[in-house]
Amino acid sequence: MGTTSNMSIKPQSIMKIKIQGRRTGDLHFLKLIAFLWVFFTFVNSVNSQSYDGYTLYFPQNGTKAYLVDLAGNTYHSWTFNSNSKTCYSTYLLSGGVLLRTVAKQGTYFGGGPISGEVQTVDWTGNVLWDFVYSTQDYCSHHDIHAMPNGNVLLIAYERKTAAEAIQAGCALSIEMWPDKIVEIQPSGTNGGTVVWEWHAWDHLVQDHDPSKNNYGIVANHPELLNINYNTSQDWMHVNGIDYNEELDQVTFSSHALNELYVIDHSTTTAEAASHTGGNSGKGGDLLYRWGNPAAYQTAGTTDFNVVHDAHWVSMDDPRFPNALVGFNNKGGSGGKTCVDIINPPYDGFNYLLTPGTSYAPATYEWRHTYSGNPTPDNGNSQQLPNGNTLVCIGMSGFIYEIDSDQVQVWSKTVGGTLPQSFRYPPCFVNGNYTATASGSPTVICTGSSSQLDVTATGDVVYIYSWTSDPPGFSSNLKSPVVTPDSTTTYIVTIKNGPCFATDSVTITVNPLPPTPTITLTGDSLVSSATSGNQWFLNGNAIQGATSQILVPSSNGSYQVRVTDLNNCTSQLSNTFNVTWVGTEQISDMKTLSVFPNPTTGILTITASSFMTNDFEITIFDSFGRKLIKKQNSRIIDLTRFENGIYYLTIKSINGDMISKKIVLIK
């Protein structure tokens, strides 16, 4: 039975591939593979049409959220309580649930979009969870992120007194609001527990006062934040956050410092406050930063001028898999608003950096510049699965979509202030996505193959990912062929943007029956298998020869194989050579004497007229294998062979033949 997923995810952070242990060269290879896949799949559509679905938008400080179709018509809307105005972010989760930030009234902190409250709201507008994260010491603001495990990442200010700022090495005696990131595990209708947190205040450096904390050479510590760069009360003004599940890392953007950052989420909270631990081995230090080398006193180009919306591009993106994105409000040519995509220099869970230089790359990989008036604040982009990009010009209330050639293929003017906007495919909005896995056949024998397949609902193009239990198999084909050694369950995941579903099918593998052996009893060949036999002569099946015992009807190489009750067939047995069929016994056979028999090894052969001419003696073992062949010899030495039954054949020059069973007992 097919299943759908209830995972809550941010639309631009979906479908990433595992890259732990990866090197920079491997990223380019993965990009090439992804590009080729998309080229052959979307070659006729990538540059010509919108990505199908519904666009979510929500006016800042408003009480409405909307889903509109590609014609611009409202498909669905939500209305919120007048005391629950939208702060900055709203995302659509599985099941038609919105995750949104609320502008809580009466917070201690001021300035940019102050939230202090987070809600989930169902399709009909009912509030399912209402969580407040606001005191005089901290308050959530700007963006949030829904984690795959159901938790929520929040950006929050935390208050530091002027005395604390001075002790940390700040050159100004001011109250500061550095940022922290907390992971909240929801409970009940309004509860929540902090299960992980990271504080910028734990990762500072300053070269102002050697008598204070955090003293060091700023340029030697790009992993730390210079507390005296662009110092103000709202010092960092973090405004965008995203999570990479495969790397277990978090990225976020800073309006005031003009950078985006990456930190390790695999740490414990204690490790996140330190400089060691986690997958990276660097605790909570910055793993990567980009956009403004001056912030860590290093030469390089400042690309960002007010940055929002830090996020990863999906690994399934047709052009920029697993790249990082920033919404560059005023950093384009002539102060234009643009979307910048960069390719980080991945080094496993870390990022390559040459000491004394800024983080690569030197400039962006791809840039789209908005042709209209720049938006000095807000805004975002979303890289869509078909290679298109959705852009929200926040202060103008304008949303548009471009194809991979940067040609506009869709737009909607809303007016007002729109911090963000996202496109969701119909399969996600309507929930009509399931996967049903199958195998043909589902029961096989060792060495045989099965054709896997998956049937997916919804009229969309899915990306397929197969894995196995036990592990060892993976494929991105819709219908791969498998040849398992043992019974294996194959799990398939179908994906299209935030839509995904999983199902599995088990291929049962029955072992082959043991390969039979052939022995000679009298003039009959006997299989070691009591049933299911099929005899062969010179490689061809003998019609009707399916008993355990076969009396050879002609000379040649005989074999047998077995088919069991599971319809599994063994390997062919070794050949048994028969040479004595089709000749008459000589009249004076009774005069033949082979002695002693049983023998300890030396045989003497006597006969009358039969052995007066040229003759040939051959010795076979009980499996029909030829051991000795001699001409005109009356003495045969078997001492080098093991005890057992052997067969002696004497063939005259006229073609007459005599066969004798010999028992060897040493």
Same domain, 88 and 171: yes
In a domain, 21, yes or no: yes
Query: Which residues, other chains included, contact 543 with Cβ-Cβ below 8 Å and sequence gap of 6+?
Result: none
Total domains present in the chain: 4
For the chain, give the mean pLDDT. 89
Q: Which domain holds residue 501?
A: 435-510
For residues 122 and 117, what is the distance between their CA atoms, to the nearest angstrom?
A: 17
pLDDT score of 582: 60
Beta-strand relationship, 324-328 and 307-312 = antiparallel
- 3-state secondary structure string, 110-152? CCCCECEEEEEECCCCCEEEEEECECCCEEEEEEEEECCCCCE
Q: Residue 195 belongs to a domain with what CATH number?
A: 2.120.10.30
Same domain, 465 and 533: no
Same domain, 406 and 485: no
Same domain, 344 and 201: yes
Domain end marker among 465, 485, 510 = 510
Same domain, 568 and 633: no
Give 550-592 pLDDT, tens digit per residue: 988 888 999 999 999 999 999 999 999 887 776 444 444 445 6
In a domain, 121, yes or no: yes
In a domain, 584, yes or no: no
Confidence check: pLDDT of 364 > 50: yes
Short-list 122, 69, 86, CA closest to 419:
86
Same domain, 349 and 476: no
Give 196-205 pLDDT, tens digit per residue: 999 999 999 9
Same domain, 489 and 396: no
In a domain, 442, yes or no: yes
The DSSP result for 36-52, as a single string, is HHHHHHHTTTTTTSPPP
pLDDT score of 623: 72
| Of residues 68 and 586, more confidently modeled | 68
* H helix or E strand, kind and range, residue 32: helix 24-42
In a domain, 79, yes or no: yes
CA distances from 360 to 247, 248, 289, 293, 301 (A): 19, 21, 9, 10, 11
Confidence check: pLDDT of 611 > 60: no
For residues 439 and 441, what is the distance between their CA atoms, to the nearest angstrom?
A: 5
Q: pTM for this one?
A: 0.72
Same domain, 403 and 462: no
Same domain, 562 and 619: no
In a domain, 522, yes or no: yes
CB 422 within 8 A of CB 382: yes
Number of residues written out for the chain: 666
pLDDT score of 29: 40
Mean pLDDT calculated for residue range 276-290: 98
Same domain, 393 and 351: yes
Structure tokens at 169: 């090495």
Domain end marker among 387, 407, 430 = 430
Same domain, 505 and 522: no
Short-list 519, 513, 547, CA closest to 531:
547
Q: Residue 658 — pLDDT band, cuts 50, 70, 90?
A: confident
